[in-house]
Amino acid sequence: MALIVQKYGGTSVGTVERIQAVADRVIATKNKGNQVVVVVSAMSGQTNKLIALAKDIDEQPPAHEMDVLVSTGEQVTIALLSIALMKKGAEAKSYTGSQIKMLTDSAHGKARILDIQCDNMQKDLQDNKVIVVAGFQGIDELGRITTLGRGGSDTTAVAMAAALKADECQIYTDVDGVYTTDPRVEPKARKLDRITFEEMLEMASLGSKILQIRSVEFAGKYNVPLRVLSSFEEGEGAGTLITTEDDEMEQAVISGIAFNRDEAQLTISGVPDKPGVASDILGAITKVNIEIDMIVQNVGEDGTTDFTFTVHRNDYVNALDCLTQTGDKLGAKKVYGNDSIVKLSLVGVGMRSHAGIASTMFAALAEEGINILMISTSEIKISVVVAEKYLELGVRTLHSAFGLENDGTLSCI
């Protein structure tokens, strides 16, 4: 008998009909002799609606009350799915984050899981029950409700699978696997049968929202077999298996293209080139709790230096404010920014053993007249920042330049 954790995202439980379909799939899995734990998200759109309600009252509502509010979305779905399962004759029991004692730290809105108490659940599973767990939520040591960040139900599912030593964690969503890039942007994107944890982690960190970053980190760390599948497909597809690198895997040089439209770029130019200047500029930004992503520094011949860096677009106004103040202090020539940019990234473990990827990338973009604003590289990725208007063209150009497409068929709603 295998223990399977299945996670269903917002669109997969977006209507009563979809919830009924999820119940059928859960029962089918159970009828094959498996124990099943189901983790669900809020019905699609609900989390955004709850956030908007709060923001109608206060643009910056207290984070701990936001967690009380947004966690209600998942509570609705666990009840509805349990009702559907019971109506169809299965024994089911719903659990909120606090009922399973999903202990997290107290970082409201982006809490990290510390511990899960599995005793009650083990007993329910032995009693032949399907367990239905609210994704995205936990409690801290003070008993306050916390949430794990947007898309956090993925992490709940992987954490449950790790804690219960499940045989597989299946992430059901509205596409039938991980594609070479977001199929909504490049319809010729190809489904991958497998992708390594390392590549999936890069894809997620660089903006692919198919899996929350922490869920991939967790799965890699605890060796949880992780699969992405469609809940809209009849029967059982194979989806995409996230796996450790092995010799048998055919190694494509590039596995995928990620993009991130959530960034903004800031520049400070003409500051004295001397020790401590980077720390003055970037330290001031991190001091106001703004995370910096890419950084480029250029030193001019006149003894001054320029810094360009990116931050989350939500932090753009505050970062520009802070940088302007630093610029005044340091006597900068100019401080300016641009919040209409995107970051495009090529990801692939095969890059380690292949030269010339960057030059192919830059030439392909140049041929389409796409100007590169920033570049950053690591062992298995190359990222460029370009104007936002080039997102689709850039992704499609790179997809074709690296031969990632197939015959163009795609099963995505």
Beta bridge partners of 246: none
Q: Name the helix (H) or strand (E) containing 205.
A: helix 197-205
| Minimum distance, C-beta of residue 157 to Mg ion, in the bound complex (Å) | 10
| Minimum distance, C-beta of residue 44 to ligand ASP, in the bound complex (Å) | 8
Contact window for Mg ion (CB under 5 A) among 2-10, 27-35, 49-57, 283-291 = 2-10
Cβ-based nearer residue to ligand ASP, 70 or 164: 70
- Closest CB to ligand ADP belongs to which residue? 9
Per CB under 6 A, 327 contacts ligand ASP: no
> Can you tell me which of 146, 147, 156, 173 binds ligand ADP, judged by CB under 6 A?
173
Per CB under 6 A, 42 contacts ligand ASP: yes
Provide DSSP, 95-150: E-TTTTTEEE-S-TTS--EEEE--HHHHHHHHTTPEEEEETTEEE-TTS-EEE--T
Per CB under 6 A, 41 contacts ligand ASP: yes
| Minimum distance, C-beta of residue 97 to Mg ion, in the bound complex (Å) | 17
Q: Which does 6 bind (CB under 5 to 8 A by kind): ligand ASP, Mg ion, ligand ADP, none?
A: none
Cβ-based nearer residue to ligand ASP, 155 or 265: 155
Cβ-based nearer residue to ligand ADP, 198 or 306: 198
| Minimum distance, C-beta of residue 34 to ligand ASP, in the bound complex (Å) | 23
Binding to ligand ADP in span 205-264, by CB under 6 A: 208-210, 256
Per CB under 6 A, 313 contacts ligand ASP: no
Beta bridge partners of 412: 175
Rounded CA gap, 216 and 218, in Å? 5
What does the angle CA 344 – CA 356 – CA 381 come to, to the nearest 5 degrees? 35
| Minimum distance, C-beta of residue 294 to Mg ion, in the bound complex (Å) | 25
Q: Which residues contact 115 (CB under 8 A, 6 or more apart)?
A: 101, 103
Per CB under 5 A, 135 contacts Mg ion: no
Q: Is the dihedral angle over the CA atoms 406, 407, 411, 413 positive or is it negative?
A: positive
Binding to ligand ASP in span 112-141, by CB under 6 A: 135-136
Cβ-based nearer residue to ligand ADP, 210 or 357: 210
Rounded CA gap, 386 and 341, in Å? 6
Per CB under 5 A, 151 contacts Mg ion: yes
Cβ-based nearer residue to ligand ASP, 155 or 181: 155
Rounded CA gap, 183 and 208, in Å? 11
Helix axis angle, 46-57 to 63-70, nearest 10°: 140
No. of helices (H) and no. of strands (E), the chain? 12, 20
Token pair belonging to 43: 């019905």
Residues lying near ligand ADP in the complex (CB under 6 A): 9-12, 41, 151, 173-175, 178-179, 181-184, 208-210, 256
